[in-house]
Amino acid sequence: MMLYPQTNQLRNEISLDGFWKFAKDERNEGDSKGWQHSIPSDREIAVPASWNEQYQDLVHFFHTGWYEKEVIIPHIYKNHQIIVRVGAANYYSRVWFNGNLVGEHEGGHLPFSIDITEFIDWDGPNKIIISVDVRIKPDSLPAGEVENEHIIQKNGFKGQFPRNYYDFFPYGGISRPVSLVVLPKTHIEDVTVVTDIINNSTGQVDFNLTLNQPFTGLVSVMIEKEVEEFSLSNQTSVNGRLTIKDAKFWSMDHPHLYPLTIGLSEEGEKIDQYVLKVGIRTIAIDGDQLLLNGEPIFLRGVGLHEDFAVLGKGMHPAIIVKDMNLLNWLGGNSLRTSHYPYSDEFLNYADKNGILVIGETPFVGFVESHYNSTIEEKAHRVISEMILRDKNHPSIIAWSLANEGNTFVPQADGFYKSLYDHAKSLDQGRPITIVNCLDVEGDVALKHFDFVCINRYYGWYTQPGLLDEACEILNNQLDLCHELFGKPVMVTEFGADAVAGMHMDPPELFSEEYQAEMITRQYEIIRSKAYTIGAHIWVLSDFKTSQNAKRVILNRKGLFTRERQPKLAAHEIKKVWSREEK
Ligand code: GCB
């Protein structure tokens, strides 16, 4: 996984965002018709953004979309390595550069990068073509079934269109930025930092650097006045430690980021530089508590989605700012990237603004048929991609490896243990969880994880309209969780749909009053337990789902509408949260 691109004296990033030519390939005949050289297109589409809401005929287009753009690369980069980087494209992508198939990637929510240096035509425009296939299948992560009706009847959300196994719209296309990354021929390929707090005023940063090829020369690593230098002879990696006196630790109130500056020089000449923003903090589970920098914290916040009208799942900085601003306005301190890894830009913003994030894989709705070695291997690959991309974000304080899989069949035991072990082998510094639904009795997977997360809809899908009963069941379920596992418990989802503008007294389902009452009452119950470490409301804003008799176009469990305007519940929970410390 390459480092997040940056521009400095020795590196550059050329954005390819904007308008691309676009063609629909409904019968998957693009390859045989030579579209890898030139796509037949008379229209343009915006990148980054899902394709679905840009043209009416694309709303329910779930096949392959082809993108094309021409790019001229300045001669000054002739001595460099040039990489095409796609922030994310849903779901399976292939990339051609001047007619050559240069790479492919499966998975809709993580970046991929492809070296195209040897295919560049320095004298002419170069053609980059990307095909993105969004035919979701039972072995896609997350899974669906667009072609085989009976499978969805057995496993998925019954009777929903499109037929995915989860509750958000399977938007297609290039949803995050695309760029050409210009790197020195020898460059810093990866950096891993692990931070620690030695005492009240001393922080420690352990680092590991890897270079793209054997290097002979000087590597310097610096934070403020602390510098370490290494003289390398034909080597590709370096480990070291910096100790920072009078350190400012990263926290919710003071999310201090230190620039860790890494330089490579050869015979006195600087050949590469990368600056990684590092937050010095610790995160740990201790008994029934979650400790940030040694202090107990309670995760108060929301689940959400990358979702907005017209953009679909397209990354737009304004939506990131707005969503984080709303979380802050509510008095929340944390969120979960439900139900897939979010954009790099989102996490960079969280780092800078002291927001605590549970980073989630795209494994939502695993069913029994997923528990086999092929999916396990694929899931390991995705976990590796996610952790390698996100390992250095101080905002990420835990990993969630799955949401609401079927954890009640014997095969789930070994399957989830193997996911846990794999993630732990890549990151020993963060607690790891999965999210249970329905019940904890009979769950065979949760026991492998560091803390227990549950999604509960008492008072909505069960006990509808019966809030007293729902609250009692929630109360008992929480105690049961703790009794069964002896680990800290978090409620990662609870909530109710409310159609903005619907009012009922006394409160009834779908009214703003019912949602507000349910959320505030259930929050107080969760908060009252000594062993709970968090409560996340489902969900920050209304979002688009598949068509389903239970959904009024959108999932309406938002505290805010899809336009990000508050419902009654937002005002009520803000009052509750404002009484708590950050
Ligand atoms: C859940 C899922 C979430 C759904 C939510 C709902 O448990 O994790 O993806 O959107 O319930 O509203 O039903």
- 455 within ligand 1 shell (Cβ under 6 A): yes
549-576 pLDDT tens trace: 889 999 999 999 999 999 999 999 999 9
pTM for the whole thing?
Answer: 0.97
Atom 13 of ligand 1, nearest CA residue: 167
Q: According to the model, what pLDDT value does residue 133 have? A: 96
Question: How many angstroms does the Cα of residue 429 sit away from the middle of ligand 1?
Answer: 29
Secondary element (H or E) of residue 336: strand 334-336
| Residue for token pair 């794999």 | 422
Distance CA 84, CA 358 (A): 29
Q: What is the mean pLDDT of residues 25-37?
A: 95
As annotated, the active-site residues are: 404, 493
Atom of ligand 1 nearest to the CA of 497: 12
Q: According to the model, what pLDDT value does residue 582 have? A: 67
Dihedral sign, Cα of residue 532, residue 371, residue 335, residue 258: positive
Instruction: Between 280 and 143, name the one with better pLDDT.
Output: 280
> What mean pLDDT is reported for the chain?
95
Residue 145: pLDDT band (50, 70, 90) is confident
Q: According to the model, what pLDDT value does residue 147 have? A: 57
Q: According to the model, what pLDDT value does residue 436 have? A: 96
Q: According to the model, what pLDDT value does residue 210 have? A: 98
* 227 Rama class: left (phi>0) / alpha (psi -120 to 50) / beta: beta
Q: According to the model, what pLDDT value does residue 426 have? A: 98
- Asked whether residue 140 carries a pLDDT value surpassing 60, the answer given is yes
Question: How many angstroms does the Cα of residue 377 sit away from the middle of ligand 1?
Answer: 26
Atom of ligand 1 nearest to the CA of 555: 12
Q: What is the mean pLDDT of residues 152-172?
A: 74
- Asked whether residue 153 carries a pLDDT value surpassing 50, the answer given is no
CB 164 within 8 A of CB 157: yes
Question: How many angstroms does the Cα of residue 117 sit away from the middle of ligand 1?
Answer: 44
Q: According to the model, what pLDDT value does residue 155 have? A: 44
Which of 186-190, 503-507, 550-554 has the weakest average pLDDT? 550-554
- Asked whether residue 148 carries a pLDDT value surpassing 70, the answer given is no
Secondary element (H or E) of residue 576: helix 568-578
Tokens representing 40 are 């037949």
Q: According to the model, what pLDDT value does residue 146 have? A: 64
- 403 within ligand 1 shell (Cβ under 6 A): yes
Q: What is the CA radius of gyration of the chain?
A: 24
Atom of ligand 1 nearest to the CA of 338: 9
245-262 pLDDT tens trace: 999 999 999 999 999 999
**E strands in 117-187:** 126-133, 173-174, 178-184
Residue 581: pLDDT band (50, 70, 90) is confident
Residue 217 Cα to chain centre, angstroms: 37
Query: Which residues are CB-contacts of 581 (< 8 A; sequence separation ≥ 6)?
Result: none
State yes or no: cis peptide before 507, omega within 30 of 0: no
Instruction: Identify which of 455, 456, 497, 537 to mutate to test ligand 1's pocket (most ligand atoms within 8 A of the CB).
Output: 455
- 437 within ligand 1 shell (Cβ under 6 A): yes
Q: What is the mean pLDDT of residues 322-331?
A: 98
Question: How many angstroms does the Cα of residue 167 sit away from the middle of ligand 1?
Answer: 6
Q: According to the model, what pLDDT value does residue 435 have? A: 98
- Asked whether residue 157 carries a pLDDT value surpassing 80, the answer given is no
Question: How many angstroms does the Cα of residue 222 sit away from the middle of ligand 1?
Answer: 45
Distance CA 53, CA 46 (A): 11
